[in-house]
Amino acid sequence: MSELKHLVANASAVEMAVVTENAPRSSEQVHGLDRERKRRLIAAVVERIVAHVDELTALDAAIGDGDHGYNMKRGFEAVLQDLDTLSAMSLPDLLKAVGMKLVMKVGGASGPLYGTLFLALGKELPAEPSRAQAAIAFEAAIAAVCARGKSGAGQKTMLDVLIPAQRAFAAGGDAADVKKTALSAAAATAPMRATRGRASFLGERSIGHVDPGSRSSSLMIAALCDEFGEG
């Protein structure tokens, strides 16, 4: 089975496992980040994605099937609808709930992959993570995406942003450093030849275009960095 078909076929399996094992609990208790901060972080990511839907669509039209912008908008707007419930949850439960929503709503290859990223972050992060714990959880979540996508660095995918951004964060970079790393890593996918995902069907013709998933990852990271950078 191609990795694309494998991803789509496994989306409902991920969903079921999550629903049964990790049903998120709404909680009045606020851990680490307070409720207002969580609201702002979620809203910032959603707004950033929604503001770039046309760009993501155009990138995916060039080397894919043109649905990445709409896929992401559908998923992240569904997340926004649950803003009140989500911001009342502990950080791990919030991340698991976002992951589940993305698996169910985004679709395509990126839905199960982003779903896996957030679900794994929710499983790995303690409620009040230190910076070191956050870096370790981010690394483990990326490993989960690699396992689900049967993919790794250098294949012109979202991983080509997630991996360098995690490294910049783990190395002690501040919000501005991590943001800059993520944005330039997305731009740096343009000269790469895709060997995973739909763009790989184009072979050499995938060269010269920024990968849409790498761009959406960079937008999410940039939005989070802008929020954290403001203290």
Residues that bind Mg ion (CB under 5 A): 60, 64-65, 67-68
Question: If binding is defined by CB under 6 A, does position 213 make contact with ligand ADP?
Answer: yes
Among 36, 47, 54, 65, binds ligand ADP (CB under 6 A): 65
Nearer to ligand ADP, 6 or 35 (CB): 6
Token reading at 202: 């184009």
User: In this structure, how many other beta carbons lie within 10 angstroms of the beta carbon of residue 117?
Assistant: 26
> Closer CB to ligand ADP, residue 17 or residue 202?
202
Nearer to ligand ADP, 109 or 224 (CB): 109
Per DSSP, helices labelled H in the chain are: 3-21, 35-51, 53-63, 68-81, 83-87, 91-105, 110-124, 131-149, 159-170, 175-187, 212-229
Query: Considering the rule CB under 6 A, would residue 110 count as an interface residue with ligand ADP?
Result: yes
**Which token pair is 151?**
């993919």
Question: Which CB sits closer to ligand ADP, 10 or 22?
Answer: 10
What string of DSSP letters covers 90-156?
-HHHHHHHHHHHHHHHT-TTHHHHHHHHHHHHHHH--SS--HHHHHHHHHHHHHHHHHHHT--TTSS
Q: Which of residues 182-201 bind ligand ADP (CB under 6 A)?
A: 196-198
11, 33, 86, 113: which one binds ligand ADP (CB under 6 A): 113
Interface with ligand ADP (CB under 6 A): 3-4, 60, 64-65, 67-68, 71, 108-110, 113, 149-151, 157-159, 196-198, 211-214
